[in-house]
Amino acid sequence: MPKPKSPKAAEFGPEVRAVFADIKRTRNVAEVNNFWKYLARDPVLLARTWQGVKEVMAPGALDPLIKEMLYLAVSVTNGCGYCIASHTAAARKAGMTEAMFGELMAVVGMANETNRLANGYRVPIDAMFEA
Amino acid sequence: MPKPKSPKAAEFGPEVRAVFADIKRTRNVAEVNNFWKYLARDPVLLARTWQGVKEVMAPGALDPLIKEMLYLAVSVTNGCGYCIASHTAAARKAGMTEAMFGELMAVVGMANETNRLANGYRVPIDAMFEA
Amino acid sequence: MPKPKSPKAAEFGPEVRAVFADIKRTRNVAEVNNFWKYLARDPVLLARTWQGVKEVMAPGALDPLIKEMLYLAVSVTNGCGYCIASHTAAARKAGMTEAMFGELMAVVGMANETNRLANGYRVPIDAMFEA
Amino acid sequence: MPKPKSPKAAEFGPEVRAVFADIKRTRNVAEVNNFWKYLARDPVLLARTWQGVKEVMAPGALDPLIKEMLYLAVSVTNGCGYCIASHTAAARKAGMTEAMFGELMAVVGMANETNRLANGYRVPIDAMFEA
Amino acid sequence: MPKPKSPKAAEFGPEVRAVFADIKRTRNVAEVNNFWKYLARDPVLLARTWQGVKEVMAPGALDPLIKEMLYLAVSVTNGCGYCIASHTAAARKAGMTEAMFGELMAVVGMANETNRLANGYRVPIDAMFEA
Amino acid sequence: MPKPKSPKAAEFGPEVRAVFADIKRTRNVAEVNNFWKYLARDPVLLARTWQGVKEVMAPGALDPLIKEMLYLAVSVTNGCGYCIASHTAAARKAGMTEAMFGELMAVVGMANETNRLANGYRVPIDAMFEA
């Protein structure tokens, strides 16, 4: 019953190596981070998850910095330690300054507070928001 | 043991009326939405919450559109129905297009998925994220 | 594939009726609320849940009003609509005034905010809290 | 103000020792895991929790492997580190293979994603699910 | 600022119609449920989400009934009303009996309880779970 | 891309030092705990958060011990490790005994369980709770 382990590089099959190569090329990094190494235990999940993340985080109507900040806001709300560490780093790499981080955290904190005030006061949705 | 009710306008004291006037002026709206009417049961909480929201959502290193999208990302993650309705409206008013909404939702969905993959695979934080 | 339904009173077996009688006696109410009627689909779950709630909510080192307020704080945090409605009623019946409710909500809101600030700023636990 | 501590074996009273003996017998293990040692600070909570877990996890309409996987799915969703570690071990002991774990994680990840898509798109419940 | 709306069938483009046809064929249903109609506002998200759900929920090391029950366990934990309604229906269609549903709910309830007991008692992970 | 760090005391500007002085005076402590040191990266957030916490936690209709226990109940529900450690300490300092802690945890556990039972059984709110 061992703890889940990242497989050793030597154990990776060709599908995993292909995904890792695409991650490195897309992100221009020398090494993939632990998240992908651990998912490599399940090459199908690894490939689908990477494909999804790659599509979702590509520039579009929102630029990558905004997308990374949204990712971080969700991760902070859920309290996922790994995700907070990795997406804080990714957001900084994409251009998040200290001031932006401070404002992001202030919004996330306030939203988590007012979400509960709305719950507890049982506020009905205004007709104008339902139209 | 009645359900919490929004007080009638006639019952609002001067502190509540002052907060409502500031909300209308700041947001350039004719009427405050239900959230503030319900919080008016507790004028101290109303005043502190409005003051906080006003400061946090003002333009700064992040513009109001990005802040509204972060607020929405948190509200969707928490499943707060009122907050999703009101902050979707606020984000649209601040300029969120249909395409931006679609990308926001895609990021929020993906982040909620990968947060759990990181939890379940018990991925240790990379040294480079701890430095 | 019908929506879960509360069984009709006529359908309740003797174990369910015994639990309902104990709920009415313990709480001094004429009718059990919907939660118990729905759980009655599974008499074993009903009996175990009622036994647990009865023990946990009995007066002890904490009085019933404090216990009801703790229950409400959890329910508001989780966003459980039924639980917020029923435990707001129960807390009022146990003596929660409007001012107490306002302060409870202020604490719940603030705790949900600072929980995320602690997550996002990745604050390490002080040695004095680990001793 | 010390951190909660597991009491030393020598300090356990007879009620605690009786529960521990039943845990060892029921699970056929030589030692109880930390969860139960920490709960032993409150013998009444310990006894009620063990009784509930024992009943709920016993073979029934669902076999123990499925129950352990459901337990793990909840723990991963909530991000409870201790619970993920202990119930991954328990599920493996009950027969969860690496392939089953991979599929479980894929379902948990997808459910957490689509739960938020349903929230954010404010999807109304189909009449056929309400019938 | 209207509430998100499901597009009318007549407005669906060919990519959306292709996804809907695949959903109907795969699930052997006459009509897609609201979730997919609402996602159709964003055809790329619709296609990726359906492809993911189709792969993840296909028979594998776990059969579809177990997968639907895991999906339901997550949805109940997160309190997603739409998801609870639709996946309760899906699990019943896949063979979940009333007794199975009762046991699933008992496990989900217990796991949510003990997750918090482990948090609050700050239980350290046993060495045997880390090995 | 370094991990967020608490600024060194020597780096604190006058606004931060003023807040720290008020925390020490209000709580009668020799040193502020890490939470405040980390928030000091953003002096505006620090000042607003401290002002809010100071107001919310002051004696009122609820005494400080009850407020600390509510804070702890929320933190345990959210699984915030830092917050559980710091508010367990604060609640003990405010007078929470071991027996009170045990009962608090029992209520928090039970509420988290029954919140999910209410979700999964889709229990409609009783008319008496809506009146």
Work out the pLDDT band at B2, boundaries 50, 70, 90: very low
CA distance B78 to C34: 25
CB atoms F1 and A79 under 8 Å: no
H helices of D1-131, where?
Answer: 14-27, 34-39, 43-57, 64-78, 81-93, 98-120, 127-130
Work out the pLDDT band at C11, boundaries 50, 70, 90: confident
pTM of the model as a whole: 0.96
CB atoms E114 and D83 under 8 Å: yes
Average pLDDT over residues D22-51: 96
Angle C74-C75-C79 from CA coordinates, rounded to 5°: 120
C 19-38 → F contacts, CB under 8 A? 33-35, 38
CB atoms F2 and B44 under 8 Å: no
The per-residue pLDDT for D11 is 80
Tell me which amino acid residue C41 is.
Answer: R
Report yes or no: F108 and E120 within 8 Å, Cβ to Cβ: yes
How confident is the prediction for chain E on average, in pLDDT? 93
Closest residue on chain E to F120 (Cα): E76
What is the tens place of the pLDDT at every residue in D82-129? 999 999 999 999 999 999 999 999 999 999 999 999 999 999 999 999
Report yes or no: D101 and A2 within 8 Å, Cβ to Cβ: no
Q: Is the pLDDT of residue E41 over 70?
A: yes
DSSP line for A21-83: HHHHHHHT-SS--HHHHHHTTSHHHHHHHHHHHHHHHSSSSS-HHHHHHHHHHHHHHHT-HHH
Report yes or no: F75 and E120 within 8 Å, Cβ to Cβ: no
The per-residue pLDDT for F1 is 39
CA distance F30 to A31: 45
Q: What's the complex ipTM?
A: 0.94
State the DSSP code for C13: -
Report yes or no: D32 and D86 within 8 Å, Cβ to Cβ: no
Residue B96's nearest CA partner among B57, B59, B68, B73 is: B68
Residue labelled with tokens 């929470």: F96
Calculate the alpha carbon distances from A53 to A30, A41, A45, A58, D30 in Å: 19, 18, 12, 8, 45
CA distance D64 to D57: 6
The per-residue pLDDT for C67 is 98
Q: Which residues on chain E are in Cβ contact (under 8 Å) with C38? A: none
Return the number of other C-beta atoms located less than 10 Å from residue F93's C-beta: 14
The span from the first CA to the last CA of chain F, in angstroms, equals 55
CA distance D7 to D42: 10
Residue F65's nearest CA partner among C130, C60, D3, C61 is: C61
Work out the pLDDT band at B5, boundaries 50, 70, 90: low
Closest residue on chain B to A93 (Cα): B129
CB atoms C73 and F74 under 8 Å: yes
Q: Flag whether residue C55 sits within 8 Å of chain D, measured between CB atoms.
A: yes
Q: Is the pLDDT of residue D7 over 70?
A: no
Q: Is the pLDDT of residue C77 over 60?
A: yes
Q: Is the pLDDT of residue E7 over 80?
A: no
CB atoms B44 and F55 under 8 Å: yes
Q: Flag whether residue C114 sits within 8 Å of chain A, measured between CB atoms.
A: yes
CB atoms B4 and A122 under 8 Å: yes
Report yes or no: C19 and C50 within 8 Å, Cβ to Cβ: yes
In sequence order, which residues have a C-beta less than 8 Å from that of residue D111 and are 6 or more positions away?
A: D77, E70, E71, E74, E75, E83, E87
CA distance A1 to B58: 52
**Which of F76, F114, F120 is opposite residue E119, by nearest beta carbon?**
F76
Report yes or no: F110 and C56 within 8 Å, Cβ to Cβ: yes
Work out the pLDDT band at A6, boundaries 50, 70, 90: low
Q: Enter the tokens of residue A13.
A: 């099959």
Report yes or no: F30 and F24 within 8 Å, Cβ to Cβ: yes
Calculate the alpha carbon distances from F99 to C84, F31, F96 in Å: 26, 29, 8
In sequence order, which residues have a C-beta less than 8 Å from that of residue C71 and are 6 or more positions away?
A: C57, C83, C87, C90, C91, F107, F110, F111
Report yes or no: E44 and D43 within 8 Å, Cβ to Cβ: no
Q: How many inter-chain contacts (C to E, CB under 8 Å) are there?
A: 21
CA distance A49 to C34: 42
Residue B53's nearest CA partner among A112, C34, F68, E69 is: A112
Q: Enter the tokens of residue E87.
A: 């996946």
Return the number of other C-beta atoms located less than 10 Å from residue B124's C-beta: 13
Q: Flag whether residue E65 sits within 8 Å of chain D, measured between CB atoms.
A: no
Work out the pLDDT band at C4, boundaries 50, 70, 90: low
Query: Residues of chain F whose pLDDT is less than 70?
Result: 1-7, 9, 131
What is the tens place of the pLDDT at every residue in B89-105? 999 999 999 999 999 99
Q: Chains that contact E by 3+ CB pairs under 8 Å?
A: A, B, C, D, F
The per-residue pLDDT for A130 is 84
Q: Which residues on chain E are in Cβ contact (under 8 Å) with D81? A: 125
Q: Enter the tokens of residue A17.
A: 């190596």
Q: Flag whether residue A2 sits within 8 Å of chain B, measured between CB atoms.
A: no
Chain D interface test: which of B119, B122, B123 (most D C-beta within 10 Å): B119
CA distance C39 to C44: 9
How far A40 CA sits from the closest chain E CA (Å)? 16
Closest residue on chain F to B51 (Cα): F48
Q: Is the pLDDT of residue C112 over 50?
A: yes
CA distance C12 to A118: 37
CA distance B130 to B96: 35
In sequence order, which residues have a C-beta less than 8 Å from that of residue D26 and are 6 or more positions away?
A: D54
Closest residue on chain E to B93 (Cα): E1
How confident is the prediction for chain C on average, in pLDDT? 93
Report yes or no: C3 and D131 within 8 Å, Cβ to Cβ: yes
Residue C126's nearest CA partner among B130, F30, B123, D35 is: F30
Closest residue on chain D to A129 (Cα): D122
What is the tens place of the pLDDT at every residue in C14-28? 999 999 999 999 999
**Which of A1, A3, A131 is opposite residue E2, by nearest beta carbon?**
A131
H helices of B1-97, where?
Answer: 14-27, 34-39, 43-57, 64-78, 81-93
Average pLDDT over residues E72-90: 98
Q: Enter the tokens of residue C92.
A: 């009022």
The share of chain D scoring above pLDDT 70, in percent, equals 92
How far E122 CA sits from the closest chain B CA (Å)? 17
CA distance B89 to D110: 27
Q: Is the pLDDT of residue A103 over 70?
A: yes
Residue labelled with tokens 């482990």: E118
Q: Chains that contact F by 3+ CB pairs under 8 Å?
A: A, B, C, D, E
Report yes or no: A76 and C115 within 8 Å, Cβ to Cβ: no
Average pLDDT over residues A107-120: 98
Q: Is the pLDDT of residue E11 over 90?
A: no
